[in-house]
Amino acid sequence: MPSSPSLLALGLALSLAAAAPALVQVGRVLGMGYPGGRSGASLPPPVPNTGKQPPAKKDKNADQEILPSFRGTLRGIDSKSVVIEEESANTLQFNCTRKTKYVDGSKKIKASDFKPGEPVSVDARHAPDGSLDAVVVRRERRKS
């Protein structure tokens, strides 16, 4: 049976051997390079940010995004919002932005051309705050 000091030395040697890979990683993270005196093995200094970014590529399919469409009776419209009432008596409010388009068939019209009580459909997308933004407000034809 080995003596107590030799067991202690063996345990110490095993502990150091197990900790060596972790110490190397700490040295790399801190930028101290590799152990053993290999100079120049650390990471190069960071390049300063010039603040310029390459122009973003426009997605060709961005304009073809499929949006949910809501149909109902127009209850109110102004430059900031559109309110419609669905057949199920739910009232929905949409935010109007500078990008909102107003159409009658294939013809562009103004928001002021819409009258309360007429059938409309609104294509919308979720705004960052969770509300709905009107993308297209469309005058619908009454069924005969």
Domain boundaries, the chain: 1-37, 67-139
Task: Write the CA distances from 122 to 50, 66, 75, 78, 88, integer angstroms.
Answer: 43, 13, 13, 14, 16
Cα(116)–Cα(25) distance, integer angstroms: 70
pLDDT tens, position by position, 75-117: 999 989 999 999 999 999 999 999 999 999 999 999 999 999 9
pTM of the model: 0.55
Give the pLDDT score at 141: 84
Tokens of 78: 């102004």
Cα(95)–Cα(115) distance, integer angstroms: 18
Contacts of 37 (CB under 8 A, 6+ apart): none
Class of the CATH domain delimited by 67-139:
mainly beta
